[in-house]
């Protein structure tokens, strides 16, 4: 738990840039490709189609053209593709984010890079430093394994750093290429749901310390909280197997949201003299229809509070760690936030855990 700090000394979010790969496939096309793949081995192909449609995703952007996935038969092939595409998308999204703020790669002091869909040593952040000719003294913090919660957690960790280094600029970069993790031999319900829910995308957040951007218009990161739910390791994550990352995804995720999120949010806000009625903007990770409904019901949100999360889910699917940053970027670009408004960014992921971020414009 982090205590609140005065707003004028809080780190500020200068920009959020989002990027999707160029290869788009409607959900029906993806269903057709998977039906062809699994038809001879799945006892109930109609159930596959039903599960895909139930996640309410209209289509997804993919790291590669859909016809190229069949040739990726090994973990090495998929991970090599991940490194190539992650480096390309990372460079593009960072460039666009810096351009938004009038900064250059030489202005960056620290990179936080998060992902859960591929592995690389040196990590992608080092590759981006070379590709973009950043200073050699840039600090790097690559974070693997937080999954869907990592977008919010990355903002929290970057803000922790900038509270100490108030005159510096940090980037949070996330690249998730979920399509490259598909286990074609796994006919389990979790894998089938994941193959219908998760998409590919990248995001970059530019953050600055209070001394670096004293007149920035916000939003400022006033406080953060991390919550781990004990003994819930098998709720979400990966089993690392010979063929790569095999998804662990329990049907209990919405139940955990309903059991915990109201208490956690109320406790977090209460420490800063706030209640849910004081929050004008809710930025929620697009975990799926049942998760978003659980957020709305448990927090007793007014209609439309999570409209941008629902829209992102329908249009691009769950982008793992990038999802909550897509929603945050949409919120900033909408221009609806007014000076003095409060916001809460929230996400949940492997652990099982939650991350809460208190924002003020």
Dihedral (C-alpha) 97, 339, 164, 116: value to the nearest 10 degrees? -40
Region 9-18 average pLDDT: 95
Give the per-residue pLDDT at 3.
42
Question: Average pLDDT for residues 224-245, to the nearest whole number?
Answer: 93
Rounded CA separation 323/347 (Å): 9
| CA distance linking residue 25 with residue 305, whole number of Å | 29
Model confidence at 44, pLDDT cuts 50, 70, 90, reads low
Average of pLDDT values for 302-321? 96
How would you classify the pairing of strands 353-360 and 23-26?
A: unpaired
- Mean pLDDT for all residues in the chain: 93
Joined together, the tokens standing for residue 345 give 């960014």
Phi, psi of 131 (to 5 degrees): -65, -35
> pTM to 2 decimals?
0.94
pLDDT band at 1 (very low <50, low <70, confident <90, very high): very low
Supply the pLDDT for residue 311. Answer: 97
pLDDT tens-digit profile of 280-302?
999 999 999 999 999 999 999 99
Which positions are catalytic? 148
The whole-angstrom separation of Cα 346 and Cα 324 is 8
Question: Do β-strands 110-115 and 169-177 pair in parallel, antiparallel, or remain unpaired?
Answer: parallel
Tokens of 105: 């790669």
- Residues facing 347 on adjacent strands: 355
Q: Which of 122, 82, 59 is nearest to 315 (CA)?
A: 59
On the question of pLDDT at 34 being above 90, the answer is no
Q: Please tell me the predicted confidence (pLDDT) of residue 6.
A: 58
Q: Which residues contact 117 (CB under 8 A, 6 or more apart)?
A: 82, 175, 176, 177, 178, 180, 181, 245, 320
The DSSP symbol for 331 reads: H
Mean of pLDDT values over 260-271: 96
Q: Is 41 exposed, middle or buried (0-12, 13-18, 19+ CB in 10 A)?
A: exposed
What pLDDT is attached to residue 190? 87
- Please give the angle made by the CA atoms of 222, 204 and 324, to the nearest 5 degrees: 65
Q: What are phi and psi of 73, to 5 degrees?
A: -100, -10
pLDDT of residue 97: 98
Would you say residue 5 has pLDDT above 60?
no
Q: How far apart are CA 341 and CA 91, in angstroms?
A: 33
Give 324: exposed, middle or buried? Use CB within 10 Å, 0-12, 13-18, 19+: buried
* Sign (positive or negative) of CA dihedral 206, 210, 216, 222: positive
């Amino acid at each position: 738990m982090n205590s609140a700090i005065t707003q004028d000394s809080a780190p500020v979010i200068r920009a959020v840039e989002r990027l999707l790969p160029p290869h788009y496939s409607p959900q029906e096309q993806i269903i057709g490709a998977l039906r062809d793949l699994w038809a001879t081995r799945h006892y109930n192909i109609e159930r596959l189609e039903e599960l895909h449609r139930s996640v309410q995703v209209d289509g997804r952007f993919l790291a590669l053209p859909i016809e190229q996935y069949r040739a990726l038969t090994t973990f090495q092939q998929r991970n090599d593709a991940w490194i190539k595409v992650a480096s390309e998308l990372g460079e593009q999204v960072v460039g666009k984010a810096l351009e938004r703020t009038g900064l250059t790669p030489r202005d960056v002091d620290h990179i936080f890079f998060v992902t859960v869909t591929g592995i690389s040593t040196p990590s992608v952040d080092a590759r981006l430093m070379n590709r973009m000719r950043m200073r050699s003294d840039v600090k790097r913090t690559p974070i693997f394994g937080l999954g869907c919660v990592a977008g919010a957690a990355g903002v929290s960790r970057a803000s922790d750093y900038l509270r100490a280094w108030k005159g510096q600029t940090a980037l949070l970069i996330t690249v998730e290429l979920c399509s490259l993790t598909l286990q074609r031999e796994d006919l389990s319900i979790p894998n089938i749901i994941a193959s219908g829910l998760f998409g590919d995308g990248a995001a970059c957040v530019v953050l600055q310390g209070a001394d670096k951007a004293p007149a920035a218009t916000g939003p400022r990161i006033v406080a953060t909280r991390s919550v781990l739910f004990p003994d819930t390791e098998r709720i979400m994550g990966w089993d690392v197997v010979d063929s790569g990352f095999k998804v662990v995804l329990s049907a209990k995720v919405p139940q955990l949201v309903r059991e915990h999120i109201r208490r956690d949010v109320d406790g977090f806000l209460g420490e800063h003299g706030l209640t849910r009625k004081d929050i004008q903007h809710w930025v929620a990770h697009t975990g799926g229809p049942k998760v978003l409904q659980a957020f709305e019901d448990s927090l007793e949100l007014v209609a439309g509070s999570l409209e941008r999360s629902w829209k992102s889910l329908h249009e691009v699917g769950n982008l793992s760690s990038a999802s909550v940053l897509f929603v945050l970027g949409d919120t900033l670009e909408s221009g609806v936030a007014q000076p003095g408004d409060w916001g809460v960014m929230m996400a949940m992921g492997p652990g099982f855990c939650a991350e809460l971020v208190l924002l003020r414009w």
